[in-house]
Structure 1
Amino acid sequence: MRAISGLWRWRHNPLRRATDLAEAWVALAALLLILAVTPLIGSLVGGLAQDALQESVREQRASRHMVTATVVRKVEGTSLEVDPEAATGREMRTRVVADWTAPDGTAHQGRVMASLDSPQPGDRFRMWTDQQGHAVARPLDSATAATHAVLAGFGAALLTAGLVEGGRRLVVWRMVRRRYARWDQAWDRAGPDWGRTGAGS
């Protein structure tokens, strides 16, 4: 908005310098770029991220399986931990030694995280494994993938706007430096006679 008002203000002003008009045009160009390019980049990056993440969701759902495990014993010295992969981020988990059968029929035993507050031997719980029965994280869900894609698009849009604004500031900074250099040259030419009576100043 400042760019448009700057152009209008300098349009017929007798004090207008070429650099003033150039700065206003640069600001207007940056504004138009931000308004036109930023949403385009954001939607493009968000769409690509959405496609990649949803493909990952499909692959994880195909390769990860939920099985039922049985608690053998609680691992001593462990306390309740928050499961960072839970949908709410507040699901508590306890480390236990458990037995389970893999989707391929093989028996397994190992230390895993159980969604039990106070696990006792014989307690059953559900856990995720791959086809061979190795414990894996729960598969990414579609809603979380979509949220990550939106954040990626928003971040790309902000980065684009920041780059355009940074470019505008760099151009204006160089223009101001040139203007100051010309002023210094003009002062140097006028310097020896500045303020002298009868020197024509």
Structure 2
Amino acid sequence: MPVLYQKLFAADAMRAAFAIATAGGLIFAADQAQAVDCVNKPSQGWVETANDPPAADERAIIKLIHLYNWALDKHDSAMLVDLFSSSVFYELCNAAGEQLTQKNGEGQLQGYLNDYFDEFDVYKSQPRHIESNTLLHAVDANTVQGKTTVVVTLQHSDIETPVLDYTGVLRTEFEKLANVWRFSKMTLIVDGPQLTLRAR
């Protein structure tokens, strides 16, 4: 086999192993998800109108979203501390409206993310979470709903340029607790009808 093809084959094999390893926790969930609908369904309206929260609250919430994405990029568990309410609800869904995973409570969600951080460190891949088009809707003084477009790329150590992992929408609800905004509900809906997850 020519050297070029050997390198390409090895690179493909490594990335396939990485995808399988990092998706391992979702394979069973994806099988089960065929019969489980997303709680926050893609077809369900979400932040159809934006009743802007006060400027100070908006800045705090936008910063919270930024901190969350930086924590994902840096694989940094410490950065996740105090970002979520104790009863935070998280779900991952595909465009078909199937729920691929669900986590209830801060402990479950942090454990779920920590498992993926470990895999990124092992396989030396760098994700980048690019967020845009955030809209916020103030439900009341202590509750805000939001939606954000996300684009995620992966930079593997053996290739020159990053590859697209997925695009999607992060639907959120924020709760103000002791004058501090935290995530209380998170639904990540990827644009594809199927998903092999490599980043979040």
Decide: shared fold, TM above 0.5: no
The answer to which structure has the higher strand fraction is: 2
The answer to which structure has the higher helix fraction is: 1
Tell me which structure has the larger Cα radius of gyration: 1
TM-score normalised to the size of structure 1?
Answer: 0.27
